[in-house]
Amino acid sequence: MRSLLKNDTETVTEDQWIEVAPEIRLLVLRRWRDSLQQLTARLEDGGMASVENTGTGSKATDPKAQTEEAVSDEIEGLRVKFSYATSAFVCMSESCGKVFWFPHVIRHGFWSHYRRSMDRVIEILQPLESDGQDLVKRLLKDLKLDPETATLDGLIEDQDEKNLLCTMCDERVAIYMNFNEMIGHFLGARRWFENATDAIRMSPDSCYPSRTAKSELPKIINDHDWISRDGLLVRQDDQQAKDALVKLQSDFRKEGLNDPLCDTKGIGRKDLESLTANSDRNQGLLK
């Protein structure tokens, strides 16, 4: 294969390519296996394992002794480790902070952050911290799933399926999310609370002209603190419940907002009358 690659590829015949195809296929499988081993190491070591220091199968085993079947079996074993709902990664590139699972997290690194190699993708991935893991387990329990055995099948495979509602949000303005959006929703609320708390603590006294010398600073409350809450964090609605909520939100916006545009146009410029009509029609079909 090396000799073929050294030559002008236009002069290589089809039969020559067919002859080296098994070798090329094995090379690709080994590279993919090694990348998954690096990603597994970051998952198991809490993101502390660097790409350079991560061991690979090619170092432990003579590559010439590895067959395509053996490497494929290794890949399948590694993929199983990523199949659990708790095997989530956070993208640490710039201010991204989005939560993904394998293999969506790989596609995100290549497409959204223009990473040109698996090593560069893995560099920006960080497993959820312990409190984030606790959040995932709480959400799974609320959805009546076993946190220790729950897999991604049917949970996040369909990223367009948004039927989860945060119970800590006001129903009148809450939005439906999928599972990874729900995790990001809680983590984002905590980041905002921490940043706002630091901003208040570090701001100069001139920002509070009415504050006396010994009075306390303004206090804000993290209303999405999943650690201190005992009740359900999330609920899963069927279509009938979703239609009913759409009507509730439409009525609330029409009654509470004075802007004439809000009579028909709501958040995201969606036609509220149309949404309400569709909701009523769907409820009629369900009867």
| 23, HSE (Cβ side, Cα atoms, 13 Å) | 11
Per-residue pLDDT tens digits of the chain, which is 287 residues long: 566 666 666 677 778 778 888 888 898 899 999 989 989 988 887 655 455 554 444 444 555 557 888 999 999 998 888 888 888 888 888 778 788 888 888 888 888 888 888 888 888 888 888 888 899 999 999 999 998 888 877 666 555 678 899 999 999 889 999 888 899 899 989 988 988 888 877 776 666 666 655 566 667 888 899 988 888 999 999 899 999 998 998 888 777 665 555 545 444 445 555 555 555 555 554 44
Rounded Cα distance between 230 and 222, Å, is 15
Q: pTM here?
A: 0.69
Query: Reading across the β-sheet that carries 125-127, which strands appear in turn?
Result: 99-100, 89-91, 125-127
- Return phi, psi of residue 265, to 5°: -115, 125
Rounded Cα distance between 119 and 277, Å, is 51
Sign of the Cα pseudo-torsion (271, 276, 279, 280, in order): negative
Query: 258 by DSSP, 3-state: which?
Result: coil
